[in-house]
A and B are shown apart, each in its own frame.
Chain A
Amino acid sequence: MVRVTRRGVLAAAAVLGGRVGGAAAQEQPLPPHERELYEAARREGELTWYTGQMQAEPSEAIGRAFTERFPGVKVNVVRSTSQVAFQRLSQDMRAGVAQCDVFSSVDQSHLAFLKRQGRLTQFRPHNLSGLIPAVREAGDPDGHFQVTYLAVYLLARHNRVPEAEAPRSWRDLLDPRWRGQIAVGHPGYSGAIGSLCVALRKLYGWDYFRALERNRPHIGRSAGDPVTVLNAGERTIGMGVPSPTILLSISRGNPLSLIYPTDGTLIVPAPSGIPRNAPHPNAAKLFLEFMASPAYGQATRPFFAESLRPEVPPPEGARPLDQVPLLAPTAQEVEAGIPEVKELWRDTFGV
């Protein structure tokens, strides 16, 4: 498993820097490999996509963009937190039922686990060649899954808190000044928060969280919950919030701002894979091709997703990733660590 190294991403970001104005990729005619798959996919007519990578709106938009590009193939978007999506897939498998065609999670360990169980289809989309190398290499070397989303998690503040006084790092959150001000998700419901816990535990040890509990953070469920809480004005600092969610909220006029923590912005390559017993395998493969294509980048950019291809510019309002420190736990660390941190979390925070 190749780590998404800081250097790798920085290199990618350097390539990105300066390249503005993505061409309207969907105007281009279908390349032959896509055309073949398309024929087969059209016969299947639809696919079901379990995803926890992005919110409902962007996920729906992706589904629509796909159908626009490949008319006649409908996408059933089933969006929930990654944990819940994985749960549903597990229930499917336990019941011997095949419903899911493509599974996308922010938690690499989900896909790693499925690969080990032999439950994933091996498929390497042609379009992978056009991805930023670091992103491409973060996928499974054996081709059982690929990275379709770069999840970025950082801090957010309500504009009530002036920039000068805001916390600048994860560590700063332990300051008693922020008592009763912080909101965060729950690793039992969100794979991203699970990854964050693993990364912070590696950095500071679990005592970090015990100290955090003294500040009585507001615990929700998904990683995006704090945005709601901040918008409501209930808390002022969001911890581990996905960048697209905040950027979207800001674009709508909500009084929020991003904070890139000095001890590292968490990035999580979020993979997608095709279950072996997918009922619509060709549509699924076509979908993976789509997710590695520029059209996908175009569709997701309005939702502030990080760009995976050099020709698609980064989202509006986001800082280029080569300019910030990063936290990037490996897939093994995440897989091994998440079950542990879930129990530790529950013991520490009581829920």
Chain B
Amino acid sequence: MRADSVTALPKPATPARAGGLLDRLRNIEPVSLLWVVLIAALLFLVAAPLIKLFTVSFQAQETGAFTLSNYATAYGRQRYLDALVNSLTLGLLSAVIAIVLAVPMAWAVSRTDMPGKGLTWGAVLGAFVVPPYLGAIGWILLAGPNSGFINQAWRALTGAEEPLVNVYSFPGLALVIALHSFPLVFILVKAALDLISSEMEDAANIMGAGPWTTMRRVTLPLAWPAILGGFILVFLETIALFGTPAIIGIPARINVVTTQLWQFFEYPVRVEVAAAYAMPLLLVTVGLIAVQKLILGRKGFVSQTGKGGERRMVKLGPFRWVLFAWCAGVGALAVVMPVLVLVQASFAKAWGRGLALDNFTLRNYALLLFEHEMALTSVWNTIWFSAAAATLAGAIALLVAYLVNRRLVPFGEVLGFLCMAPFVIPGIVMAIGFYAAYASPPLALYGTATLLILAFTARFLPIAYANSQAAVRALHPEMEEAARILGAGRLQSIARITAPLLKKSLLGGWLIVFIVASRELSAAVFLVGPRTRTMSVLLYDLSEAGNFEVLAAFGGILLAITLVLVAIGMKLAGRDFMLRRE
């Protein structure tokens, strides 16, 4: 450094000491304490149940001694192995069907001039909102081999003996599941397609490729990571599903891992064997995610450089009506038909009497609303558990996203990892882990609302975290720095600047978790006690009681509540709050 005549440094007035302890203490940020609290919370919510699950699978039931017998029992019978194979096959088939359903829809909405895009959005939203187990019940009414409306119509039209479709079959089960998981694929693929600039397609067109060739060889391959991601998501969701396989699978003689796990929870409860049996689900999930990361690795697919370029709609001519028919068809299958059938049953005195004017009654609803002890309680339970879980998950996710994004703590990635980890754990496995870890003494949370809220929080933390991360990332750190340099402390600037600016997306995230939690069955069914039954579990119980009309009415109530929530969400957080990157 050159000594300039003008800038000879003055003598330091205060001897420059290297910062005493008091100095450091005065300058410590409160966030460091926050980090400790968050780590503890995440360990409790995520790490402990998993570890407990793992250790319990090696414990003998009575003595707690180390043993491999649980694994021997879990995999000893052919039937159990068949269930595992069934689950994997079902997952594959459902995922394929979901891709087939959703990708044309996503392409149509994102890149073509197909009419009725609003309706298509509505169909996707509807399919997302109707819980899968409710849709399953509707489909029984539609496609039961003897009595389903579709088959009756088919027989009437063609005089055939055999049914057209049989919901009680492997393909039937897979289709019903796919009809409720395809929104996941739609959202992912559409988001990816939206980023592709028309210039990519133009480049192909100039060289002689028509719209279909371009779609096949340029557009869709660019969206390949999203398609793969959607495939994996649907696969994972399917193998962890409990309601639909119980309702349709049992009559169809299809035993899957989740219904088999249920058997291990029969009396006497064999948590140890259940844990051992659940391990493959976990391994498969982790493996798939790893494979996905590997395949997609460092390849660049969608150009991320600033200006994506303009996106023009591909003109399809008359063929756009074919696409519209496809979208409308999916919407009908996924939403309109099952819901109509359920609504009809809910207003029927005797479902077996079919559609008739004298078969109309409000009694089923009245029974639920005014007489049934548990119905209103379960609604209240659902609202309160879901709200608590959404708030807790949202708070943790925001704090972690903030700490990680602003790089305020060392090893922030660990926090982020713990937040996303539950994503790879099937809900039912998570529930068993929670049961194993916290249901018995010393915490003895069995049958309490706390257990369910904690399990829901852990289960939906990844959704909240992905949402918070995106929100925090979009917020320029200079917004807070501007406040800080003007005199606001860090917490103050979070409260007065960051939080208000993030309000909208935080609210959107809260609502998504709330809605998804309110329909959760697979995890809840293992953890509810008699007084903490949620609507989904009550619905499941009702499906065993043979009183179909009341069951349909309760399904109607569940749907109505969900729709109200979604409407509120759209009002407060924007029309697309649910359909942004999940």
Contacts and interface: CB of A to CB of B under 8 A. Distances in A.
B146 A235 contact: yes
A219 B255 CA distance: 12
B546 A224 contact: yes
B353 interface: yes
B144 A63 contact: no
Contacts of B550: 56-57
A78 interface: yes
A81 B544 contact: yes
A81 to B, nearest CB: 6
Contacts of B547: 55-57, 224, 228
Contacts of B542: 56
B213 interface: no
B350 A88 contact: no
Interface stretch (A122-130, A132-140, A168-176, A343-351): A343-351
A226 B441 CA distance: 40
B447 interface: yes
A79 B250 contact: no
A324 B562 CA distance: 50
Contact of B251 (A64, A86, A220): A220
Interface string B551-575: 0000000000000000000000000
Contacts of B371: 60, 64
B546 A99 contact: no
A218 B248 CA distance: 11
Interface string A132-174: 0000000000000000000000000000000000000000000
A270 interface: no
A64 B371 CA distance: 9
B144 A253 contact: no
B373 A75 contact: yes
Interface in B431-456: 439-441, 444, 446-447
Interface in A222-260: 222, 224-235, 245, 249, 252-256
A170 B352 CA distance: 25
A349 B250 CA distance: 10
B265 A87 contact: yes
B269 A87 contact: yes
Nearest to A98: B447
Contacts of A219: 250-251, 253
Nearest to A246: B546
Interface string A316-338: 00000000000000000000000
Given A88-B530, A351-B253, A78 B374 contact: yes
Contacts of B254: 351
Contacts of B533: 78
A3 interface: no
Given A91-B446, A224-B546, A351-B254, A230 B440 contact: no
In the complex, which range does the number of interface residues on chain B fall in?
A: 35 or more
A21 interface: no
Interface in B1-25: none
Interface in A273-320: none
A228 B546 contact: yes
A100 B145 CA distance: 41
A189 B268 CA distance: 14
A55 B545 contact: yes
B352 A188 contact: no
Contacts of A87: 265-267, 269
B349 A96 contact: no
Interface string A81-107: 101101110111011110110000000
B246 interface: yes
A349 B253 contact: yes
Contacts of B250: 186, 219-221, 351
A88 B253 contact: no
A48 interface: yes
A260 B267 CA distance: 32
Interface string B403-428: 00000000000000000000000000
Given A92-B446, A97-B444, A79 B541 contact: yes
B217 interface: no
A233 B352 contact: yes
User: Which of B352, B374, B542 gathers the greatest number of chain A CB atoms within 10 Å?
Assistant: B352
Contact of A231 (B168, B352, B529, B541): B352
B203 interface: no
B374 A77 contact: yes
Nearest to B267: A90
B548 interface: yes
A76 interface: yes
Contact of B352 (A92, A221, A230, A351): A230
Contact of B269 (A80, A90, A232): A90
Contacts of B475: none
B263 interface: yes
A91 B440 CA distance: 9
A38 interface: no
A83 B447 contact: no
A256 B546 CA distance: 14
A154 B547 CA distance: 18
B142 to A, nearest CB: 11
A195 B269 CA distance: 21
Most buried by A among B145, B268, B350, B353: B350
A83 B146 contact: no
A348 B208 CA distance: 61
13 contacts: A50-B530, A55-B546, A56-B550, A77-B374, A80-B544, A95-B446, A227-B546, A228-B351, A233-B144, A253-B359, A254-B352, A347-B79, A351-B253
Interface of B: 79, 140-141, 144-148, 168, 246, 249-251, 253-255, 259, 263, 265-269, 349-353, 359, 367, 371-374, 439-441, 444, 446-447, 529-531, 533, 541-548, 550
Interface of A: 48, 50, 55-57, 60, 63-64, 75-81, 83-84, 86-88, 90-92, 94-97, 99-100, 180, 186, 188-189, 218-222, 224-235, 245, 249, 252-256, 346-347, 349-351
Given A78-B533, A90-B267, A99-B531, 6 more contacts: A80-B541, A84-B541, A86-B267, A224-B547, A233-B144, A234-B145
